A and B are shown apart, each in its own frame.
Chain A
Amino acid sequence: MSSIDTKLPDAEDLLHTLAQKLQPLLQANTALVGIQSGGVWLMERLLVLLKKDISSNAIEHGTLDVSFYRDDFEKRGLKAENRPSQIPFEVENKHIILIDDVFYTGRTTRAAMNELFDYGRPASITLVALVNRGGRELPIAPQITAADITLDASQNLQLIRDADGTLSLTLQPSTATTQTNQADHKHE
């Protein structure tokens, strides 16, 4: 790992910051949706941290794998291990809180929103990301983040989960040739 790694914030600290910021949004008729895979890890942790608010408001949750909605499907194809999206509740008229790990170009968010609308018409969508690393390519931005850092396009910020469930951030040189591609490889 490069020395730049040491400057990265601690993902576990960020998670608690994110939980605090998210708490006021947990009201009736709200549902959480995690984007595979980092967003789902975060959601699983948030479900525990915010257990009280979630159960008192009967907040449901689901997961999205946006592989079938990506705008670069033709270049990348399908991953071998795509997981079925699971939205076990009525999306129609719900306030959806969409959770992702690293916000970059906004293309993953666009794909996730397109998929959500195929389940129904939500009342609203709020985007929550652990880190906004800058570099968006679309008029989409997260409303809630725990950290905002600016990274070069040659760097690839990833959320990692250890065997014991601890979350951490790592920085790697980007392998993809185009900016768009490398952002979208962050889950792999």
Chain B
Amino acid sequence: MNNPQLDSDGRLRHLLSIEGLPKKILNQILDTAESFVGIAEREVKKVPLLRGKTVCNLFFENSTRTRTTFEIAAKRLSADVISLNVNTSSQSKGETILDTVDNLIAMHADMFVVRHSQSGAAHFIAKHVPNHIHVINAGDGRHSHPTQGLLDMFTIRKYKPDLHNLRVAIVGDVLHSRVARSEIHALTTLGVPEVRVIAPKTLLPAQVEKLGVHVFHDMKAGLKDVDVVMMLRLQNERMNGAMLPSAQEYFKTYGLTQEKLNLAKPDAIVLHPGPMNRGVEIDSSVADGNQSVILPQVTYGIAVRMAVMAILAGGG
């Protein structure tokens, strides 16, 4: 099957989803990111790799953290960056996505970072653009958020270098989460032997087991002896109808408290993609506690996004 992410030589051309990417490319991105981490500690936090290039952040859906970290990443690579919140511009006047993209190409954009509430939006743009232009999916609907998945892998690798010996639990709203999907694909591709998902039945997609995960509905059983706890945000804005009794009820059953975390291994780490609902999916004392790596995730996110852009601009 034609994989639009790779060129005919198997090199990365667009980053649209973790699904469909070979382990070799995931490791190439993570290894390259390793080199970018140190740049933030230098006097000049820039390298000239994307000098003279224009990176266009096309955000059809709001996101402060993802947009900001993509912007910083592009700027640290010396690119010029334009960030468009499209829902507040031409789209509201009726312009189609592809017209918006064509106009930006006419302005000589070299790379698009796309976020959209519709699954497949980044694929759609990637299929449309000419050969020399690269597209990065920064989150599309419920489908995929590959750079989040990669930065989570990078963070896990930093604290637990032996991925082949890990037990990882993903907890919460898997149904609405593109992050969860990207994480599951990344973890299994990189050879993590045991991936668990812990959620109420109403927040799990049908046949989630087919992705190669073990399903738990009981938090206490699911967290037992895990090395990594990956929390998901309860996505109120994507829910319609009564999938949950109440936020308080959810916290009682599926919220991560220190007491529940104590069932995991003593050196287990806690991740969260942000933004956090404190007191809903995670207790404040855990979010700010010494097992939390939530802020390092944000820092590493810049290095990982730099790596993706550098690899794309360098022809894979």
Contact = CB atoms under 8 A, between A and B. Distances in A.
Interface of A: 65, 67-69, 73-74, 76-78, 80-86, 91-92, 114-115, 117-120
Interface in B21-57: 28, 31-32, 34-35, 37-38, 42-44, 46-49
A92 B42 CA distance: 12
Contact of A68 (B11, B31, B43, B47): B47
21 contacts: A68-B49, A69-B47, A73-B313, A74-B313, A77-B314, A78-B32, A80-B28, A80-B31, A81-B31, A82-B31, A82-B32, A84-B34, A84-B37, A84-B38, A85-B35, A86-B38, A91-B43, A92-B43, A114-B48, A118-B42, A118-B46
The 10 closest A-B pairs by CB, nearest first: A77-B314, A118-B44, A68-B47, A84-B35, A77-B315, A78-B314, A84-B38, A120-B43, A82-B35, A68-B49
Contacts of B315: 74, 77
A119 B44 contact: yes
Contacts of A74: 313-315
Contacts of B311: 77-78
Contacts, number: 53
Interface residues of B, number: 21
Nearest to B46: A118
Nearest to B47: A68
A83 B28 CA distance: 12
B179 interface: no
B251 to A, nearest CB: 41
Given A73-B49, A85-B35, A115-B47, 6 more contacts: A68-B310, A77-B11, A78-B311, A80-B31, A82-B31, A120-B43
A73 B31 contact: no
Nearest to B314: A77
A119 B46 CA distance: 10
B35 A118 contact: no
B314 A119 contact: no
Interface in B299-316: 310-311, 313-316
A73 B314 contact: yes
A94 B2 CA distance: 54
Contacts of B32: 78, 82
A114 B311 CA distance: 21
Contacts of A118: 42-44, 46-47
A86 B38 CA distance: 8
Contacts of B47: 68-69, 115, 118
